[in-house]
Structure 1
Amino acid sequence: MIGMARERRLAQIFVEVADSLVEDFDVIDLLHRLSARCVELLDVSAAGILLADAHDELQIIAASDEHTRLLELFALQHDQGPCVECYRTGAARTNIDLRRAEVTTGWPRFAAQARETGYLATHAIPLRLRSRVVGALNLFQTTSHRLGDDDIALAQALADVATIAILQQRTLEQSHVENSQLEYALTSRILIEQVKGVLAERWNTSVDDAFAAFRSYARARHLRLSELATRIIAGDFDTTTIPGPASARPEERHG
């Protein structure tokens, strides 16, 4: 995507984000969309957003897709990887060649698994607002082409939007509220992971397709992903009312 078409799409995306930042918006859904937009705009293969928990460790909160090996790769970064360094320093780590041992000496397990998953390069962009850093945006490439300065600046802009979405302007100076929001987002992610597994098993389909159907149902009815997930896990919601994905076997789709 180049030239005016890319600029128009970029404008559309920022309008989309601005429209989402209403009171009581669904932060998990917004972060998933931002991850997908990174892949669309930056010519990378995958993207994920990681937040620091109460123990100052990074946890995956949203990803451009839900493939297990990719999620495991993100999860590794709670204790090692470029996102950890990025989060600790508040500085971006970009155009990291995962094939060069001298570049990846600090996180050999992460680099080895990334290469096994098919990635050749990675980037870590801080989620920051002024001096406050709450996490990192992780980008992966299956090719070795370098991201230019304009692409890195755009990645940082998208990361900044994610940060604002997480913190919300009205709570920036209320650290106790901010911390509870971060914990709520991380807890919500765990519930949603459980629901994805339940629906994938019920429909005999992939976790990716189950999550897409779950999101589509929630958004069409203006339900928060976390609230719907909580009701499903608690047994207070009949999941047969959620249309199954096209990939589900016919006998499973509404079962």
Structure 2
Amino acid sequence: MTREARLDEVFAGLTETLIGPGYDTVEFLHRLTELCAALSGVAGAGLVVADRRGDLRDIAYSSDRVRRLEALQITAGEGPCLDCHRTGLPVVERDLGRARERWPHFTAKALGLGFRSVRAVPLRLDGRPVGALNVFDVRPGVEPGEDGPDAVQPLADLAVIALLQRRHGRERTAAEEIGAALVDRTAVERAKGVLAEAGGVDMDTAFEVLRSHARRSGTGVADVARSLLDGPLDAAALLAG
């Protein structure tokens, strides 16, 4: 299968998921970042969105390594995703070794994690930026995703659609939809921490435990996380599968 055919197949599958029953925002956005990394041939991808106050929050990522880098950008107040969200324009740095003055804290962290180049594209709603999709490569001197059909901006556009899906049988504003997705993400992060501590596993493994149980039980990842946090589900039982 050609890369173009694979891209068409992925978009068809994601679109079908969006309009199908049992739609799960947390699972969908996580899968979207994984597919973005795979299709673009990069080492990782992450999504950040603006909350009600306009502050950026990380909401999905292909690995915990990417999550740590996204969180650092937000804490330090510098980095490609912040520049992209502020301007509404793509941001590319082909060699992070040359960006130490531009983003000193972000660059040090990114290089320490093994990333050498970055690209950020905006999430747009009604013409205004509401977040960014970031892709990271371990190769210097390249624009992440330039080796084949560009999946990054189309996937960013699809992420906006995913965030604004109407749920629970009533209309909600864009801010309410994004806020609800961030609440779900917070529950998942807390549950991952519980599982990581209980089982001595890393955060990526902890997420896969939640994800696998959600698929087996036909529930959402955030619902599984809340059941773990509130007591009906036991960490040891989840880890045992």
Q: Which TM-score applies when normalising by structure 1?
A: 0.83
Is the alpha carbon distance of 1:108 and 1:95 closer, same or farther for their aligned partners in structure 2, counting shifts above 3 Å?
closer
Q: Which of 6, 9, 13 pairs up with 2:10? A: 13
Residue number in structure 2 paired with 1:36 = 34
Q: How many corresponding residue pairs?
A: 234
Q: Post-superposition, which runs of at least 4 consecutive aligned residues in structure 1 deviate over 6 A?
A: none
Residue number in structure 2 paired with 1:47 = 45
Deviations 1:181-236 (A, max 9, x none): 11111121111111111112222222211211210110222211112211211113
| Preserved contact between residue 58 and residue 77 of structure 1 (Cα < 8 Å) | no
Residue number in structure 2 paired with 1:105 = 101
State the one-letter code of the partner of 2:130.
Answer: V
Deviations 1:26-71 (A, max 9, x none): 111111001111111111111101111122121111111123xx32
How far 1:97 sits from its partner (Å)?
1.9
State the one-letter code of the partner of 1:26.
Answer: D
Q: Distance in 2 between matches of 1:134 and 1:71?
A: 18
Q: Which of 155, 178, 181 pairs up with 1:182? A: 178
| Preserved contact between residue 59 and residue 77 of structure 1 (Cα < 8 Å) | no
Question: Is 1:60 aligned to residue 54 of structure 2?
Answer: no
Q: Distance in 1 between matches of 2:166 and 2:157?
A: 12
Structure 1: runs of 5+ lacking an equivalent: 245-252
How far 1:149 sits from its partner (Å)?
5.7
**1:193 aligned counterpart, secondary structure:** helix
Q: Which of 207, 210, 218 pairs up with 1:222? A: 218
Q: Distance in 1 between matches of 2:73 and 2:123?
A: 15
Is the alpha carbon distance of 1:150 and 1:160 closer, same or farther for their aligned partners in structure 2, counting shifts above 3 Å?
farther
% identical aligned pairs: 38
Alignment RMSD: 2.3
How far 1:74 sits from its partner (Å)?
0.5
How far 1:240 sits from its partner (Å)?
4.4
Residue number in structure 2 paired with 1:72 = 68
Residue number in structure 2 paired with 1:114 = 110
| Preserved contact between residue 95 and residue 141 of structure 2 (Cα < 8 Å) | no
Structure 2: runs of 5+ lacking an equivalent: none
Q: Which structure has the higher relative contact order (CA within 8 Å, separation 6+)?
A: 2
Q: Distance in 2 between matches of 1:72 and 1:238?
A: 27
Q: Distance in 1 between matches of 2:149 and 2:80?
A: 15
Report matched runs for 1:89-238 at 5 Å: 89-101=87-99, 104-147=100-143, 151=148, 153-168=150-165, 177-238=173-234
**1:99 aligned counterpart, secondary structure:** helix
